């Protein structure tokens, strides 16, 4: 099955609420590769790649976020899968 990839920007109350750790755990559970990091503007950025149905499921989950988060918006754009990625990392 071909991989699909999305770059994601999440806004709202998404920093300081374990959003990155939650994203990593959810993505790993779906078998996705990629990364997540805090952005300087208070948003969270991520690269998600894997099976199309798993990426779509993760996008739905990100729209909800962990319990302490308040997601205002999720912007996801198609991007090329990165064949060098394996696993899902939290980047600083």
φ, ψ of residue 23 to 5 degrees: the values are -60, -45
Rounded CA Rg of the chain:
12
* Ordered structural domains, the chain, with CATH: 3-85+87-91 (3.30.70.100)
Question: Residue-wise pLDDT tens for the chain (92 aa)?
Answer: 568 999 999 999 999 999 999 999 999 999 999 999 999 999 999 999 999 999 999 999 999 999 999 999 999 999 999 999 999 999 98
Which residues are designated catalytic? 20, 38
In 47-72, which positions are buried (b, 16+ CB within 10 angstroms) versus exposed (e)?
bbbbeeebbebbeebbeebbeebebe
| CA atoms of 88 and 65, how far apart (whole Å) | 17
């Amino acid at each position: 099955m071909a991989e699909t990839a999305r770059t994601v920007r999440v806004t709202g109350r998404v920093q300081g609420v374990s959003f990155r750790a939650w994203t990593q755990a959810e993505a790993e559970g779906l078998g996705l590769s990629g990364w997540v990091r805090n952005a300087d503007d208070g948003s969270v950025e991520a690269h998600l790649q894997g099976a199309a149905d798993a990426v779509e499921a993760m996008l739905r989950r990100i729209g909800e976020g962990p319990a302490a988060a308040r997601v205002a918006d999720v912007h996801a754009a198609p991007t090329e899968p990165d064949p060098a990625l394996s696993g899902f990392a939290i980047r600083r």
